[in-house]
Amino acid sequence: MAVDPLIELRDVNKYFGELHVLQDINLTVGRGEVVVVIGPSGSGKSTLCRAINRLETVESGSIVIDGRPLPAEGKGLAQLRAEVGMVFQSFNLFAHKTVLDNVSLAQVKVRKRKKGAADRRSRELLERVGLAAHADKFPAQLSGGQQQRVAIARALAMDPKALLFDEPTSALDPEMINEVLEVMRQLARDGMTMIVVTHEMGFARSAANRVVFMADGCVVEDRVPEDFFTSPSSDRAKDFLSKILKH
């Protein structure tokens, strides 16, 4: 497969004390690709995302974003964080700021946009996630699904090259999950490069180019969704799928 790699991990290892949480991880995500990461609790999915966004350091190996190795620290790191957006399970919005200000804040602070230009961009993005009418509300006045869509708009406001999602719908009531997944599907259709940790197998089947299955800090399978779901090759994946597809 000819890919134009945007995110490349080579032989990445990470320890928490004695615990080897990422073991020789090799992963390439092409520009415009959507990779869904699944696996049992504690397998290292969140640590993988955090390492790519440099919220965690790694002990060995290389992580390259758009041809540039991750800088260790300093200004380059802030720039890189802005290039790879992250959306978490908890929305982490500023409670005392309006929806509009939540989306504009980092544009002004990190991207050095003027407040007026930032607000215009924020309104476009709020429109895109279906929340144009809620710009002047505070987060507590929105549902969980709406708050998560604000968090997505906020991530998009940095004009990231890629977005990482770590269980973006896990804290949501079931009726709100779809509105968030629909926004993510639209981003995928628009060509956004995304790594998505999720338990939503419907999303994995319909929106992912590849499914990466992790267990005990290793990438055990890296396949197109159809192959993964119909004929997982490892016992770990078979076992995992039989558990989650039962309910």
Site residues (vs Mg ion, CB under 5 A): 45-46
- Least Å from the CB of residue 68 to ligand ATP: 25
Residue 205, both tokens: 């089947």
Check binding of 41 to ligand ATP (CB under 6 A).
yes
The partner in contact with residue 43, picked from ligand ATP, Mg ion, none with C-beta cut-offs of 5 to 8 angstroms by kind, is ligand ATP
Q: Which of 45/121 has CB closer to Mg ion?
A: 45
Give the CA dihedral 94, 165, 189, 130, nearest 10 degrees. Answer: -20
Check binding of 42 to ligand ATP (CB under 6 A).
yes
- Least Å from the CB of residue 213 to Mg ion: 14
Residue 123, both tokens: 């309104």
How many residues in the shown chain lie near ligand ATP by CB under 6 A? 11
The partner in contact with residue 47, picked from ligand ATP, Mg ion, none with C-beta cut-offs of 5 to 8 angstroms by kind, is ligand ATP
216: left (phi over 0), alpha (psi -120 to 50) or beta: left
Among 12, 47, 180, 220, binds ligand ATP (CB under 6 A): 47
Q: Which of 46/122 has CB closer to Mg ion?
A: 46
Q: Using CA atoms, how far apart are residues 205 and 191, in angstroms rounded to an integer? A: 17
Residue 52, both tokens: 């790519």
The partner in contact with residue 42, picked from ligand ATP, Mg ion, none with C-beta cut-offs of 5 to 8 angstroms by kind, is ligand ATP
Distances (CA, A) of 120 to 28, 48, 150: 35, 34, 15
Environment class of 136 (CB within 10 Å of its CB; exposed 0-12, middle 13-18, buried 19+) = exposed
Q: Which of 158/171 has CB closer to ligand ATP?
A: 171
- Least Å from the CB of residue 132 to ligand ATP: 33
Classify the C-alpha dihedral 71-77-83-89 as positive or negative: positive
Considering only residues 84 through 123, tell me which ones interact with ligand ATP, judged by CB under 6 A.
Answer: none
